[in-house]
Chains A and B, each alone.
Chain A
């Protein structure tokens, strides 16, 4: 969520953190949510970064999903872990890439929070063709957020 309607740095109106839009920090082209509280702002309409939406409502992170990617070198075959946001004004649902500097503990907290209301989130996401992740995907989410566990002894020998 932004105070400044531009592609530049902004102050999150939710947690008041100063957020840099530098690609070197986020690893994404269009910073679309605060990396600390993960709240977003409804700015895009047709495509990520088009900034054509007039709603500009606050968007709450409500869960996680997987998006099939075109990266054939990605180890995880199911795709890329994405945040699901819900607009508090118009109830629109969108998925957004997790940035490199997003707080992983907060991402995990969003996921765990979503498990308790998974059925409702699934119904909300259904018209958009988005499938929210459930309890069964906990290990996969952990692996994506914290990295693959590595047995050092087996790696050495």
Chain B
């Protein structure tokens, strides 16, 4: 295995059921993952150059999949268009969540790596926006030190949601960019392209908000499968997109990752103590409470954050989101 050959490095752009598509030198290679990446072998450190090294321990991994979309990987090519991923190069950034795996242990699920921009997509109506879910995405992006762009799709249905602008103003006040688009009428799509230019971005959101429709509107040639949300009171999405895939856009080297819709999005690697720092409008107040950094910002007397909420400097909805997330951690 020649791991030093730069030619054997590619980018993972699609994964479905244990198969990974790696793009390298203008070609796509269908790869599996080396079993060595599924375990962490511990060797004796006394003499690392020894040829007769024996494994001392096999450590459990804390992630469900060693390879994520956006990863730069080394691979071995079989010569027939298939190959095997042998190594994952260090990640510049990543967006993770706890994997929904039953059992005692919680595993990390890296949704996308080496990403530059998180794009939470919500619909003006059908389905109704869940701002608590948006707060989760924003906190995850802050934890990963990544910028966010809030996209509101189906803006042609705003008449169904009269309070939308008022609710979005909460996020504008904090400083998050909010963009209203319509994949149907094309409104706002050019502006969205401007935001995405030169970056690797990821579209996240619940099922039925129109992530794939937005992608189709940005790059009409893709022709990705989309479906209408279910009829009736629920207006839920139909899970049209079932796998993660990165699409290269015709915009000066930018790419966009489309993800399946999710109903839940847990926080990974975020502690209760640091949560307030991940709400940008609260960060300035942390440490100013009567109990200093020990304050949970819930019922403690002299809490600076609660005072700021009552002074209308922090949205009560965002504060409620904070308390809700804090209960989970």
Interface string of A1-32 (1 = CB under 8 A from B): 00001100000000000000000000000000
- B320 interface contact, C-beta 8 A: yes
B306 touches A (CB below 8 Å) = yes
Shortest Cβ gap from A8 to chain B (Å): 11
Residues of B within 8 A of A5 (CB): 298-299, 323, 327
Interface 1/0 per residue, B274-288 and A, CB below 8 Å: 000000000000000
With a CB–CB cut-off of 8 A, which chain A residues contact B327?
5-6
Contacts of A55 in B (CB 8 A): 306, 310
In the bound complex, residues from chain A placing their C-beta under 8 Å from that of B319 are: 52, 54
User: A74 → chain B, closest Cβ, in Å?
Assistant: 30
Residue B317, interface by CB 8 Å: yes
Report Cα–Cα, A149/B298, bound state, in Å: 47
12 contacts between A and B (CB under 8 A): A5-B323, A6-B327, A45-B316, A52-B317, A53-B316, A54-B307, A54-B309, A54-B314, A54-B316, A54-B319, A55-B310, A90-B310
* Secondary structure type dominating chain B contacts: helix
The answer to whether A56 has its CB under 8 Å from any CB of chain B is: yes
Q: With the chains together, A90 CA to B310 CA distance in Å?
A: 10
Q: How far is the CB of B15 from chain A (nearest CB, A)?
A: 39
In this complex, the member of A5, A6, A54, A90 whose beta carbon has the largest number of chain B beta carbons within 10 angstroms is A54
Q: Which residue of B lies closest to A42 (CB)?
A: B310
The reply on A51 being an interface residue by CB < 8 A is yes
Give chain A's interface secondary structure class.
loop
Known: A54-B307, A56-B298. 18 other contacts (CB 8 A): A5-B298, A5-B299, A5-B323, A6-B327, A45-B316, A51-B320, A52-B316, A52-B319, A52-B320, A54-B305, A54-B306, A54-B310, A54-B314, A54-B316, A54-B319, A55-B306, A56-B299, A90-B310
Contacts of A56 in B (CB 8 A): 298-299, 306
Q: How far is the CB of A57 from chain B (nearest CB, A)?
A: 10
Q: Which residues of B contact A51 (CB under 8 A)?
A: 320
Q: How far is the CA of A55 from the CA of B307 in the complex (A)?
A: 8
- Kindly state the separation between the CA atoms of A56 and B300 in the bound complex, as whole angstroms: 9
Interface centre among A51, A56, A90 (most CB of B within 10 A): A56
CA distance A53 to B306 in the complex (A): 9
Minimal beta-carbon separation of B152 from chain A (angstroms): 22
Question: Which residue of chain B is the closest to A90 with respect to CB atoms?
Answer: B310
Closest to A46 in B: B316
Q: Which of A29-60 contact B (CB under 8 A)?
A: 45, 51-56
Q: With a CB–CB cut-off of 8 A, which chain B residues contact A6?
A: 327
Instruction: Give bound CA distance, A56 to B302, whole Å.
Output: 12
Chain A, Cβ-Cβ closest to B314:
A54
Contacts of B305 in A (CB 8 A): 54
Q: How far is the CA of A32 from the CA of B307 in the complex (A)?
A: 22
List, in ascending order, chain A residues with CB within 8 A of B307's CB. 54
CB distance from A89 to the nearest CB of B (A): 9
Q: Which residues of B contact A45 (CB under 8 A)?
A: 316
What is the minimal beta-carbon distance from A71 to any residue of chain B, in angstroms? 26
List A contacts of B323 (CB < 8 A).
5
- Cα–Cα distance between A55 and B305 once the two chains are bound (Å): 11
Q: Which residues of A contact B298 (CB under 8 A)?
A: 5, 56
Complex: A52 Cα to B299 Cα, angstroms: 13
